[in-house]
Chain A
Amino acid sequence: MSEDSKDLVKQVDSRYSEHEYETGLRVIHEDAVKDPGLEPHRVRMTDKSVKHEKNAVRQVTLLFVISMLGSAFALYSYFAFPIVIGDMNSVRMNTLFLGLGITLGLFGIGVGAVHWAKTLMPDNEVTEERHLTRGSDEKRAAAIEIINLANQESGFSRRKLIRRTLYGALALFPLPGLIIFGDLGPNVNDKLRHTAWKPGTRLARDPNGRPIKASDVTVGSVYHVVPEGLMPGDHGYLEEKAKAAVLLVRVDPSELIETEERASWSYQGIVAYSKICTHVGCPVALYEQHTHHLLCPCHQSTFDLVDGCKVVFGPATRALPQLPITVDAEGYLIAQSDFNEPVGPSFWDRSVK
C-alpha cells in the first residue's frame, strides 16, 4: 500500500473515530472521477448592471402590488357579487370572482418573493458539512446512565411480577381489535344472494313508487322499476334499491328468444331484468329500442335483451339475471319470486349454495 493511500485511509477513518489503527488488508478505492467541487460562480445581470437591478426591483414591487390588488378585489367582490338565496347564478359569480381575487393575492406574494430571492438577494454558493450521526462517548455514557437510573428507580428489572403482568396486558390488548375482523367474513350471510323481491311484490316506478299495469307498458317502452313499498327514507333503502333495481321493457313477443325454463318468466313480451351489471355493478340502463341492446356506461358491456340479456360485447361474463314476472288480478305486474341467482358482480363464493 502506498503512502498516499495510507494517508487517505487515515483521513477517511478519522471522520469516524479519533483513534488511529492499522488499516489491515482493506482496499481503498479512489474515485475515478474526482469531486469537481462547486461550479464557478456566475455573476447575474442584476449584479452587473444597475439598470437590470432597478428593473428587477420594479418587477418584484409590481408583483406585490398585483397581490394587493387581488386581495382588494376579493374583498370588493364579496360585497359586489353577494350570494342571493334562490339565484344559483349568484353563487357562480361570487365563487368565481372571490376565487380569482384570492388567487391573485397569493400568487403575487409567492412569485414576487421567489423572484426577489432569485434576482436581488446574494446568490453565493455555500457548503455546509453534515455532522456525524454518532454521539460522543461522553453523551452515550450519560444516556446509558439515565436508563440505568430509570430502571433502578422504577424497579422494572427488580419487580418481576409487575413486569410480567405488564407484558401480559400489552399482549392481550390488540386481540379485541383482531377478532372484529371476523365480522367481515361469514356474517355477511346471504345478503348478496337475495333482494327485496318476493313472490307477489308489485313492480313500481322509480322514484315515485306507483305500481305498473301491464297495459301501461307499450311496445318499445322502458320503465325503471323498484319493488313496491321500497321508498326513500326506509331503513337500508339505498342498499336494497342497489340490489333490487330492475329495467322493464316490452318488445314484440315474436322477437323474444326464450328458453323453455324461462318461457313463463315474461308476460306478453314484457321482460324484467336486473339493472346491476354483472361486471362491477354499474346500473345498465342504456336501452336501444331497435337493436334491443342494453349498454353499460362504465365499461361498455353490451347485453342482448331479447336473448336472455346475454353478453354480446364487453368485459361482463354473465348474463343479467331475469326477474320472473306475471300479472295479478287487477292487471298490475308482480314478481313471481326473487331473482333465481345473485344479482350484480361476482363474489368469492358466488357459486357455493
Chain B
Amino acid sequence: MMKKKINGMRRSPKALGIVLFAGLLAVGTGYTAVNAAVSPKVQSVRTAEEIALGKKLFLSNCSSCHGKNAEGTANAPSLIGVGEASVDFQVSTGRMPGAASGPQLEVKPVQFTEEQTSAMAAYIGSLADGPSIPDAAYLQANGNPTVGGELFRINCAMCHNAGGAGGALTEGKYAPNLMKSSAKTIYEAMVTGPQNMPVFNEANITPEEKNDIITYLTYLQNNRSVGGEELGNLGPVVEGLLAWLGLLGLLVTITVWLGAKSN
C-alpha cells in the first residue's frame, strides 16, 4: 500500500518542484557550510555609517585602479570577495595604496588611520564574503612553537627562509622578511594570499596551527640564534663570503706575519 502511494507521488507534477527545491536548498546550505569551514568567521558587526565612510574612502583613494564598484580594471584586480583581512593586510602595512606598478608592492609608511582602514575593510567586506579580520584569540602567540616550526618549515620556509629572513622569487618578486611582521599581519597573509603568495585557508592550516606558526615566528623575533651570529640568516652565500674573504684573509695575514722577519 505504502509503496504504491510513494510511487504515485513520484509521478505527480508537484514532485519535480519539490525535488528541485530540496536540491537547491541542499546545495546552498552545503556551499555555505563549506565556505564557512575554509574561511575565518566574521567576528565584528559593521555599522552602516562605517561602511559608508569606507565606500567614500574607497572611491577617493582606490577606485582609480580597482574600479568604482571594486570590480577591478586592467590595472588592478577585483576586490569583490577578497575579504576584510585582505584590505587590513594591504593597507595597514602601507602596501596599499600602491605607489607604482612593479613586480611587487613594497611596504611603505602607512597612509590611513586605523579607523579609516577598518572602514574600508568594512566596505569591501560588505560587497561579498571573504576572509575576515582574524580572531584575537589566535594572535596571542601562546601556541606550540615546535609544531609551528615544523609547519613553517613545510609550508613557508621555502620562500620565507627557515629563519623568516625572506628570499628572492622570480622576475624581481620576493618573499618579505617576517622578523618585524605582527601576529595579525602574518595571520592575514596566510588566509588571503597577498600578491603572489598562495592561500593557506583554515582547512589547510587550522586557526590553532596558525597560532602555532605565529608563536614560532614570535619566538624567532624575540630570541637571537643560539648558534651565534646569524649574518642576516641568509644562509651559505653570506657565511661562505665571510669564511673565504674574512677568515681566510685573517689566516693569510697571520701566516705572512709568522714568516716575516722582525724589525
Contact = CB atoms under 8 A, between A and B. Distances in A.
- Which interface class (under 10, 10 to 19, 20 to 34, 35 or more) fits A? 35 or more
Contacts, number: 99
Interface stretch (A5-13, A163-171, A291-299): A291-299
A284 B169 CA distance: 12
B150 interface: yes
The 7 A-B residue pairs with the shortest CB-CB distance in the complex, in nearest-first order: A216-B203, A222-B198, A288-B196, A118-B262, A220-B199, A285-B158, A221-B199
Nearest to B33: A215
Contacts of A206: 154
A310 to B, nearest CB: 15
A218 interface: yes
Which of B151, B158, B223 has most A Cβ within 10 Å? Answer: B158
Interface string B192-204: 0101111111011
B204 A286 contact: no
Contact of A207 (B154, B167, B228, B258): B154
Contacts of B204: 205, 216-217, 221-223
Contacts of B151: 207
B261 A118 contact: yes
A311 to B, nearest CB: 13
Contacts of A313: 170
- Which interface class (under 10, 10 to 19, 20 to 34, 35 or more) fits B? 35 or more
A336 interface: no
A88 B223 contact: yes
Contact of B158 (A119, A123, A216, A297): A297
A273 interface: no
Contacts of B257: 114
Given A218-B201, A302-B170, A45 B263 contact: yes
A286 B197 CA distance: 9
A64 interface: no
Interface in A212-267: 213, 215-224, 249
Nearest to B167: A297
A289 B199 contact: yes
B226 interface: yes
A95 B228 contact: yes
B178 interface: no
Nearest to B257: A114
A44 to B, nearest CB: 5
Given A288-B170, A288-B196, A313-B170, A44 B224 contact: no
A19 interface: no
Interface of A: 42, 44-46, 88-89, 91-92, 95-96, 114, 118-119, 123, 205-207, 213, 215-224, 249, 283, 285-291, 293, 295, 297, 300, 302, 313
B241 interface: no
Contacts of A218: 38-39, 199, 201, 203
Given A46-B262, A286-B169, A313-B170, 16 more contacts: A44-B262, A88-B226, A92-B227, A95-B228, A207-B151, A213-B203, A218-B199, A219-B199, A221-B198, A222-B200, A222-B204, A249-B198, A283-B158, A289-B199, A300-B170, A302-B170
A207 B150 contact: yes
A221 B155 contact: no
B142 interface: no
A220 B195 CA distance: 11
A215 B199 contact: no
B34 interface: yes
B35 to A, nearest CB: 9
Contacts of A300: 170
